[in-house]
Amino acid sequence: MITPAQCRAARALLKWTQEDLAARCDVSVTTIRTFETEATAAYARTREILKATLEAAGIEFLDEGEPLSSDGGQGVRFKN
């Protein structure tokens, strides 16, 4: 499942604003903002939509234990 930090990082790679992502996902900017700042937890369905939209734009999500860095933490990258 996508984390707030992964969402921010994915948007940064794509050079998308919160408004860009909200429009592409058909959710409110407030939903994106509160999720990314961890002010409130997003519904599971909303997180699925965010992840699917970012993946369709070329982002790959890395979960704990995948070889992203020496510590194997979570992250994002462009798909190969």
Domain residues of the chain, as ranges?
4-78
Say which CATH architecture domain 4-78 belongs to: Orthogonal Bundle (1.10)
Amino acid 72: pLDDT? 62
pTM for this model (two decimals): 0.88
1-37 per-position pLDDT tens digit: 899 999 999 999 999 999 999 999 999 999 999 999 9
Please tell me the distance from the alpha carbon of residue 42 to that of residue 39, in angstroms, as a whole number.
9
- Please say if the pLDDT value at position 71 is more than 90: no
Determine the pLDDT at residue 7. 97
* C-alpha of 13 from chain center: 10
